[in-house]
């Protein structure tokens, strides 16, 4: 079975490589066999066939020599020298599978994995085609070699005239900048994202049309992006610069933006971990590993290892959640207004008929209390009824295994109460959660499970199985991608993918909530 074929420059000879047979060279005009490549590498011992399989073959521009690749070995062979075996060269730690020769016959290009490779006409560029991408390389060494006297003396004059007389065109396609932040609009219809080049765009979910919403100060990567609860304001930041803008829909349907606040935050004060907006955009909270600052948007002045969220009932207060407590603070001066202890997770007693089936025990996952824990994320449901925290144990951030804790926010209305008991989650549900996305409708927890399915579960229900809606392709899934996925209030899932955002509608959008 043929695996590769190559014609010489004037198409009078053809070399054919086969799977399971020796390579042959044929004279097309005479329709006769010229030679068979029979020699094998000298390091092989024992009873071996007197030929070697060839994967890729090309002709040298002279038309007299073949260049090929055989099981990771590069060889050169003259089919007209009957007793001359191929000259083999074995490169350690490099096993080429593709080969090309420059038009002047001086340079040989070997590649270990590529759909196709070739030289430009002047031999100063390399083209590397892989699936839907073409990479163009311009190594400085090729420019220096092309300008050297030694190269000119070895170059075929006829090849030079071809390279000079033929003008080549060049096209370059810029790959989209990687998305670093993603935020869904509170009422559906719109979503925002920021990328590595510092660009923030607002996108219409129905038309997928995008509009520029802003840039970071020095085109640094967008680290944080939040949208206010009414969708009329946005805040974003790079590593040390913060911006707050008003957003308004114009008569033409486009968005208009007005800068309300910008501030430089020096890195000496610590690493920023979160930013949050007051519901009416009166304040901006910046929380770091060593500080918490609240900026008054109107005066642009600052007023003062938790995660923060707006109070669902009192707009001038915000909630701070850590492992052990829920605290309510004043937006204005960060005065603590109330505090509740969170009751520790505990194992529920198994039912008698289920004593042998521990996996069916309805619990919040037991955790190791001897190690440090972190609140990695906090999200409040669209109705303000629930808040969940994603909690992980000590270790490298990207390698932590997390659990979630759901709190009924109606419990914080009782100011006389001293503690809050998290909502129990069936063990079968909790152990499958890889990354929580949000709570939509009245009580539907949406998450990505450990098989990368988008799933949902009704909070507080006794059912021990989730509803699976669709799965994410394996080649989409990275640690960074999972952390950026989001769900809108109407159940549309947003997934970043190679510099763009996939907008996925499923049964999440149509199921009654």
Rounded Cα gap, residues 455 and 92, in angstroms: 48
pLDDT on residue 355: 40
Residue 202: band (very low, low, confident or very high) from pLDDT cuts 50, 70, 90: very high
Tens digit of pLDDT for each residue in 328-377? 999 888 888 888 888 876 544 444 344 433 333 333 334 444 556 778 88
Residue pLDDT, tens place only, 284-342: 988 887 777 888 888 777 754 578 888 888 889 988 888 888 889 998 888 888 888 88
Which numeric CATH code is attached to 175-304? Answer: 2.130.10.10
H or E, element range at 150: helix 149-154
Return the minimum-mean-pLDDT range out of 62-76, 155-169, 332-346, 375-389: 155-169
Structural domain boundaries of the chain? Answer: 2-165, 175-304
With cut-offs at 50, 70 and 90, classify the pLDDT of residue 225. very high
Residue 434, pLDDT > 70, answer yes
One fold for 2-165 and 175-304: yes
Letter string b/e over residues 426-460, b meaning 16 or more CB atoms within 10 A of that residue's CB: bbbbbebbbbbbbbbbebbbbbbbeebbbbbbebe
Q: What is the pLDDT of residue 48?
A: 59
**Confidence (pLDDT) at 369:** 47
Sign, Cα dihedral of 130, 495, 184, 196: negative
pLDDT at 345: 60
Burial 154-164 (b: 16+ CB within 10 A, else e): ebeeebeeebe
Give the three-class secondary structure for 352: helix
Q: How far is CA 361 from CA 38, 352, 388, 422, 429, in A?
A: 69, 11, 21, 16, 11
The pLDDT of residue 144: 60
Residue 165 has pLDDT above 80, yes or no: no
pTM of the model: 0.53
Average pLDDT, the chain: 78
CATH superfamily, with its number, for domain 2-165? YVTN repeat-like/Quinoprotein amine dehydrogenase (2.130.10.10)
């Amino acid at each position: 079975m043929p695996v590769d074929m190559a014609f010489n420059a004037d198409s009078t000879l053809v070399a054919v490589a086969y799977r399971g047979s020796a390579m042959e060279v044929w004279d097309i005009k005479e329709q006769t066999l010229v030679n068979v490549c029979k020699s094998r590498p000298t390091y092989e011992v024992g009873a071996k066939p007197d030929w070697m399989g060839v994967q890729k073959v090309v002709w040298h521009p002279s038309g007299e020599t073949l260049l090929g690749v055989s099981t990771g070995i590069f060889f050169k062979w003259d089919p007209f020298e009957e007793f001359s075996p191929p000259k083999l060269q074995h490169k350690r730690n490099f096993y080429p599978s593709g080969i090309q020769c420059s038009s002047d016959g001086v340079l040989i290009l070997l590649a270990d994995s590529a759909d196709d490779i070739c030289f430009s006409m002047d031999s100063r560029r390399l083209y590397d085609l892989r699936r839907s991408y073409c990479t163009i390389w311009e190594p400085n060494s090729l420019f220096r070699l092309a300008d050297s006297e030694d190269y000119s003396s070895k170059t075929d004059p006829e090849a030079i005239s071809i390279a000079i007389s033929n003008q080549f065109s060049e096209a370059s396609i810029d790959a989209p900048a990687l998305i670093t932040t993603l935020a869904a609009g509170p009422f559906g219809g719109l979503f925002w994202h920021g990328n590595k080049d510092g660009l923030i765009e607002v996108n219409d979910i129905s038309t997928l049309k995008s509009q520029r919403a802003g840039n970071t100060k020095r085109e640094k990567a967008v680290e944080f992006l939040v949208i206010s609860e009414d969708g009329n304001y946005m805040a974003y930041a790079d590593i040390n610069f913060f911006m707050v803008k008003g957003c308004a829909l114009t008569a033409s349907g486009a968005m208009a933006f007005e800068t309300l606040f910008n501030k430089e935050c020096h890195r000496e004060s610590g690493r920023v971990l979160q930013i949050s907006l007051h519901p009416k955009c009166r304040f901006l909270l910046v929380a770091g590993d060593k500080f918490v600052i609240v900026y008054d948007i109107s005066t642009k002045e600052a007023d003062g290892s938790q995660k923060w969220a707006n109070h669902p009932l009192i707009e001038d207060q915000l909630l701070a959640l850590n492992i052990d407590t829920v605290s309510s603070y004043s937006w204005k001066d960060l005065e603590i207004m109330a505090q509740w202890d969170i009751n520790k997770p505990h194992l529920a007693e198994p039912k008698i008929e289920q004593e042998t089936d521990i996996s069916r025990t309805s619990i919040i996952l037991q955790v190791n209390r001897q190690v440090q824990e972190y609140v990695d994320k906090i999200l409040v449901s669209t109705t303000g009824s629930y808040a969940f925290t994603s909690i992980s144990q000590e270790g490298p951030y990207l390698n932590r295994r997390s659990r979630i804790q759901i709190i009924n926010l109606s419990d914080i209305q009782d100011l006389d109460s001293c503690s809050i008991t998290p909502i129990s989650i069936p063990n079968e549900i909790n152990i499958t959660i890889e990354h929580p996305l949000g709570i939509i409708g009245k009580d539907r927890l949406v998450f990505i499970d450990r098989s990368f399915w988008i799933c949902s579960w009704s909070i507080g229900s006794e059912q021990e199985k989730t509803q699976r809606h669709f799965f994410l392709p394996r080649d989409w899934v990275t640690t960074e991608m999972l952390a950026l996925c989001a769900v809108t209030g109407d159940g549309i899932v947003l997934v970043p993918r190679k510099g763009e955002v996939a907008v996925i509608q499923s049964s999440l959008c149509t199921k009654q909530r």
